[in-house]
């Protein structure tokens, strides 16, 4: 759960192009919008996404090892190359035992040693499988579930640490539904053709895993069917992704006795003792119905059924770290069947990702030292403050919000904490032991280390300086309980941020990202948290009603978007992100207008006005090619809209977009003013 939970103005002159660089001028990248990058055969009012990105998409065809590839992904690939240089250097240094370079180098080296890994086959997990086989009674199940929890193999539910949503200064334990091998409950329960075929492919995958670990084909097939039936029961009791977006419904705080009363058939005290958390204190149960079903299944399901399921968890959760036959089987389902990938990523990328995950801030320290000079952090802080000012102006301009709620909104906006680039203090990896002998052992050692680290927070004050992303991650997030926005170093590069680019493009790209993350504090979920990060009511009832009526317009708009023939976007699931995209655009555009107020006329570049380049800069961030299977998967499981819809969806709600490209009601994207979504 830790990994699952798992969520910028330049100098005082506001001239982004004047920002720092430790590169020579000739190395700087300028944003360019030309016929080669665009598709000028399409009118901007017909399909702005294609108009802005058609050439880029043609120049960047979808690689076989990707189910989606866009400008966002291209930056992530470039970040990987930088991390690779760091990791390979650490491996070559042969650092002293216990040093960061030794841990990084040995972790990566063990993962790249395919000869040793292939010779081992599945023997690295044999001790865990033996423990399953040695289960004789129901009482034997619980300590094994505890052991898998400590290894972060999450057999049934995540047990994690997080801020108390109604007392955000304190860290409490949480329980969150898990146990499914497919990425969403609907794959088990829906009758559409795609889901039916994926269920069949999943059973084939499970059968192969059981066969490769020593079972006959007939026994393996029977075990796979048993596991499928077991997981289907879990799926039926699981919350939908939409239900999990309701923070009030997922806040159910109990103590250990209360947990035992909620789901009495499961031996909670024995389980908690097995993870050294018998004095866990307060525990938030996100999905009580699911936990009750788990407890009932613990009581009524046969020992053989439990052993089949637990064996499948061990094999499935470790398959990508074992020999090639396991890795290939894992890819055949999760890569090909689910996402439509034609080939696996090169091994070095997969091992690099694993290394960067296990030793995130250790790698991050080296990444920042090499690629993120200190001056950048200060200047990006300034940019965030410009967006904060613009957001405040937008709040003041709202006709639908009362003065009372506006005052509280300003207080929350002012209280947003900003984290740029990298943490003020780094994680200590002293207790994590890594060696060059076994890749899987290193992965599990890292998991145990991470779990113990998280458990050590429970019952203590929240560490406000902690990050939930590494500096080398190309992403950003807003935390509602922390009321903070976080922008890792790796995202502060083209196409998000151009050191030698004009203000319009930078405000359209990284500026909108900043506004997007700030808006998450005021979206359909974030608005339910106060300035201190506590789940509380700070809106008037009338303002809430007006807000909901405006967001419903956005839901309806996206529900009408056909992503594939007969398949439509989910406007409710993606509502928070769509609100943030729309809000980010409006806020950053206002910040840009503030920045150029005293500059007079802005010269055209590449034949485009500055207002046009603002929207082109935004669109380029979401340029991508994507496979149909990945479109279906993301539409079902991702709270973010597809790239094309992050452009063509929000822009027609902005009058500034129409004005920039002289669009009238004849344009295909035109929405009559009375039907536009205007929120922030």
pLDDT in tens, 387-402: 999 999 999 999 999 9
Pick the catalytic residue from 524, 581, 610, 630: 581
Q: How many angstroms separate the Cα of 644 from the Cα of each of 51, 56, 122?
A: 11, 13, 43
**3-35: b or e for each residue (b if 16 or more CB lie within 10 Å)?**
eeeebbbbeeebbbbebbeeeeeeeeeebebee
Contact call for residues 294 and 156 (beta carbons, < 8 A): yes
Q: What would the two tokens of residue 4 be?
A: 């699952």
Over range 67-85, report the average pLDDT.
95
Residue 20 is predicted with a pLDDT of 34
**516-533: b or e for each residue (b if 16 or more CB lie within 10 Å)?**
bbbbbbbbbbbbbbbbeb
Phi and psi, residue 311, nearest 5°: -60, -40
Residue 344 has pLDDT above 80, yes or no: yes
Pick the catalytic residue from 73, 164, 517, 524: 517
Residue 39 has pLDDT above 70, yes or no: yes
Residue 358 has pLDDT above 90, yes or no: yes
Residue 374 is predicted with a pLDDT of 73
Where is mean pLDDT largest: 26-30, 94-98, 376-380, 440-444? 440-444
**568-577: b or e for each residue (b if 16 or more CB lie within 10 Å)?**
ebbbbbbbbb
Residue 598 has pLDDT above 90, yes or no: no
pLDDT in tens, 422-437: 999 999 999 999 999 9
- Rounded to an integer, what distance in angstroms lies between the CA atom of residue 438 and that of residue 446? 12
Contact call for residues 287 and 250 (beta carbons, < 8 A): yes
Chain mean position to CA 460: 26
| pLDDT above 70 coverage of the chain, percent | 95
Structural element, H or E, at residue 484 = strand 484-488
Residue 94 is predicted with a pLDDT of 87
Phi and psi, residue 255, nearest 5°: -100, -175
- Rounded to an integer, what distance in angstroms lies between the CA atom of residue 203 and that of residue 211? 12
pLDDT in tens, 366-382: 999 999 877 667 777 88
Over range 61-77, report the average pLDDT.
96
Residue 2 is predicted with a pLDDT of 37
- Rounded to an integer, what distance in angstroms lies between the CA atom of residue 386 and that of residue 628? 40
Q: In which residue are the tokens 């069917």 written?
A: 225
- Rounded to an integer, what distance in angstroms lies between the CA atom of residue 442 and that of residue 108? 10
Residue 28 is predicted with a pLDDT of 55
Instruction: Give the chain's radius of gyration (CA, Å).
Output: 26
71-75, 325-329, 653-657: the lowest-pLDDT one: 71-75
Is 500 a known active-site residue?
A: no
Structural element, H or E, at residue 564 = strand 562-564
Q: What would the two tokens of residue 517 be?
A: 């993350």
| Sequence-ordered list of residues with C-beta below 8 angstroms from that of 174, at least 6 positions apart, any chain | 1, 158, 159, 160, 161, 162, 283, 284, 285, 286
Is 581 a known active-site residue?
A: yes
Over range 213-227, report the average pLDDT.
98
* Predicted TM-score of the model (pTM): 0.92
- Rounded to an integer, what distance in angstroms lies between the CA atom of residue 276 and that of residue 452? 9
Residue 168 is predicted with a pLDDT of 97
């Amino acid at each position: 759960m830790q990994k699952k939970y798992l969520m910028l103005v330049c100098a005082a002159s506001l001239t982004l192009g004047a920002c720092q660089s430790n590169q020579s001028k000739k190395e700087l990248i300028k944003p360019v919008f030309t016929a080669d990058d665009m598709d000028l055969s399409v009118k901007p009012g017909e399909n702005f996404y294609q108009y802005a990105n058609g050439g880029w998409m043609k120049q960047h065809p979808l690689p076989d090892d990707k189910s989606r590839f866009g400008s966002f992904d291209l930056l992530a690939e470039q970040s990987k190359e930088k991390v690779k240089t760091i990791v390979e250097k650490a491996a070559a240094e042969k650092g002293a035992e216990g040093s960061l370079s030794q841990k990084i180098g040995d972790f990566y080296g063990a993962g790249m040693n395919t000869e040793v890994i292939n010779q081992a086959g599945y023997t690295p997990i044999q001790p865990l499988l033996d423990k399953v086989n040695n289960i004789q009674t129901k009482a034997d199940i619980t300590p094994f579930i505890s052991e898998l929890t400590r290894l972060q193999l999450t057999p049934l539910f995540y047990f994690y640490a997080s801020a108390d949503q109604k007392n955000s200064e304190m860290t409490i334990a949480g329980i969150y539904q898990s146990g499914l091998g497919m990425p969403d409950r609907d794959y088990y329960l829906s009758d559409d053709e795609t889901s039916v075929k994926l269920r069949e492919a999943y059973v084939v995958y499970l059968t192969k895993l059981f066969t490769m670990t020593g079972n006959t084909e007939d026994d393996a097939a029977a075990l796979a069917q048993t596991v499928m039936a077991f997981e289907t029961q879990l799926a039926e009791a699981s919350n939908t992704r939409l239900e999990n977006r309701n923070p009030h419904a997922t806040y159910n705080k109990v103590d250990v006795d209360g947990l035992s009363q909620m789901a009495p058939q499961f031996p909670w005290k024995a389980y908690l003792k097995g993870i050294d958390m018998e004095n866990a204190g307060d525990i938030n149960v996100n999905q009580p119905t699911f936990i009750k079903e788990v407890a009932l299944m613990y009581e009524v399901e046969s020992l053989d059924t439990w052993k089949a399921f637990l064996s499948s968890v061990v094999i499935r959760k470790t398959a990508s770290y074992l020999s090639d036959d396991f890795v290939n089987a894992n890819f055949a389902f999760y890569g090909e069947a689910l996402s439509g990938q034609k080939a696996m990523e090169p091994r070095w990328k997969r091992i690099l990702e694993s290394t960067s995950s296990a030793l995130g801030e250790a790698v991050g320290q080296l990444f920042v030292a090499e690629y993120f000079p200190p001056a950048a952090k200060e200047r990006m802080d300034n940019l965030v403050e410009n967006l904060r000012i613009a957001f405040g102006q937008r709040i003041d301009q709202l006709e639908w919000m009362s003065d009372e709620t506006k005052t509280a909104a300003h207080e929350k906006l002012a209280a947003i904490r900003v984290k740029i680039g990298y943490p003020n203090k780094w994680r200590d990896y002293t207790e994590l032991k890594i060696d060059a002998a076994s890749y899987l052992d290193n992965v599990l050692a890292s998991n145990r280390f991470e779990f113990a680290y998280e458990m050590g927070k429970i019952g203590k004050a929240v560490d406000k300086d902690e990050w939930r992303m590494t500096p080398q991650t190309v992403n950003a997030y807003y935390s509602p309980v922390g009321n903070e926005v976080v922008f890792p170093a790796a995202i502060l590069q083209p196409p998000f941020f151009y050191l030698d680019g004009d203000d319009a493009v930078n405000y359209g790209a990284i500026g909108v990202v900043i506004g997007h993350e700030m808006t998450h504090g005021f979206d359909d979920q974030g608005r339910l948290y106060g300035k201190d990060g506590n789940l509380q009511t700070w809106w008037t009832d009338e303002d809430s009603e007006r807000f909901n009526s405006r967001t419903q317009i956005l839901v309806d708009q996206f529900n009408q978007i056909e992503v594939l023939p007969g398949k439509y976007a989910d406007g409710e699931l993606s509502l928070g992100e769509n609100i943030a995209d729309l809000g980010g655009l409006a806020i950053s555009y206002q910040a840009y207008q503030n920045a150029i107020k005293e500059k007079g006329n802005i010269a055209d570049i590449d034949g485009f006005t500055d207002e046009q380049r603002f929207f082109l800069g935004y669109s380029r961030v979401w340029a991508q090619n994507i496979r149909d299977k990945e479109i279906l998967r993301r539409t079902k499981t991702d709270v973010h809209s597809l790239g094309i819809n992050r452009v063509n969806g929000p822009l027609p709600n902005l009058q500034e977009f129409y004005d920039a490209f002289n669009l009238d009601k004849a344009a295909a994207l035109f929405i009559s003013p009375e039907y536009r979504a205007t929120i922030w």
